[in-house]
């Protein structure tokens, strides 16, 4: 399932996939795969993404 909330939050911060990837210490391809729903991130990566985007885990990853 695509993660449109992550994509929207990233765009709202005016960050590219590469920008967010660098903030979280992963590759751009990893961020792309998460947004496409092709990769299930670890809890540590979820936390790093949430912090980088100033969102809660619930806002980004849980329905």
- Helix H, strand E, coil C: the string for the chain is CCCHHHHHHHHHCCCCHHHHHHHHCCCHHHHHHHHHCCCCCCHHHHHHHHHHHCCCHHHHHCC
Radius of gyration of the chain (CA): 10
Asked if pLDDT for residue 16 goes beyond 90, the answer is yes
Domains of the chain: 4-55 (1.10.260.40)
The pLDDT assigned to 62 comes to: 83
- Residue 36 main-chain phi, psi, to 5 deg: -75, -15
- Work out whether the CA dihedral 48, 55, 43, 30 comes out positive or negative: negative
pTM of the predicted model as reported, rounded to 2 decimal places: 0.92
Q: What digits encode the pLDDT tens for the residues 41-56? A: 999 999 999 999 999 9
């Amino acid at each position: 399932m695509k993660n449109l909330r992550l994509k929207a939050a990233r765009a709202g911060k005016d960050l590219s996939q590469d920008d967010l990837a660098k903030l979280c210490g992963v590759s751009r391809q990893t961020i792309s795969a998460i947004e496409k729903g092709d990769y299930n991130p670890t809890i540590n990566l979820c936390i790093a993404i949430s912090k980088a985007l100033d969102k809660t885990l619930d806002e980004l990853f849980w329905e």
